C-alpha cells in the first residue's frame, strides 16, 4: 500500500463556504478516481494549538495509483478551483505502508 498525506493552512480571508465546498468536492473523488482505496479529509479538531487547518489522507495500492490520482483531471480541477484560491501553505508526504505481520 502507498499513502499520501497533505496538510493545509488556509488564508485569513478563506470563508467557511469555501472550506466546506472544498471538503465536499474532495469527498467526491473516490467515486471518480478508481485508484483510491481509502480516503479521509477533514478540518483540524481544534484540540492542539498550532496545528494545520485541514488534512487529506489517501491510500492506494502502489505509487502508480497515487500518480493516477495526482494527475487525474477531476483532482486537478478541485486543486485549481477549490484549493488554490484559499491555501496559504501546503505540506505533503507520500510513503509505503508496511504490511502488518500475521499473528503467530
Task: Indicate the domain borders of the chain.
Answer: 2-96
Q: What is the pLDDT of residue 31?
A: 97
Mean pLDDT estimate for the chain: 96
Instruction: Tell me the per-residue pLDDT of 38-76, one tens digit each, with 9 for 90 and over.
Output: 999 999 999 999 999 999 999 999 999 999 999 999 999
The pTM score is: 0.90
Task: Point out which residues pair with 38 in neighbouring strands.
Answer: 59
Distance of CA 90 to the CA centre of its chain: 11
Determine the topology of domain 2-96 in CATH.
Alpha-Beta Plaits (3.30.70)
Query: Which pLDDT band, with edges at 50, 70 and 90, does 22 fall under?
Result: very high
Query: Which pLDDT band, with edges at 50, 70 and 90, does 101 fall under?
Result: confident
Alpha helices in the chain (DSSP H): 16-28, 63-71, 73-78
Choose between 4 and 99: higher pLDDT: 4
Amino acid at each position: 500500500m502507498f499513502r499520501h498525506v497533505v496538510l493545509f493552512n488556509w488564508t485569513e480571508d478563506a470563508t467557511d463556504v469555501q472550506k466546506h465546498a472544498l471538503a465536499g468536492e474532495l469527498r467526491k473523488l473516490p467515486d471518480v478516481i478508481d485508484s483510491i482505496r481509502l480516503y479521509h479529509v477533514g478540518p483540524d479538531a481544534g484540540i492542539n494549538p498550532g496545528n494545520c487547518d485541514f488534512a487529506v489522507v489517501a491510500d492506494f495500492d502502489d505509487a502508480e495509483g497515487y500518480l493516477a490520482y495526482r494527475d487525474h483531471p477531476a483532482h486537478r480541477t478541485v486543486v485549481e478551483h477549490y484549493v488554490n484560491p484559499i491555501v496559504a501553505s501546503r505540506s505533503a508526504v507520500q510513503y509505503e505502508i508496511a504490511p502488518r505481520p500475521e499473528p503467530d
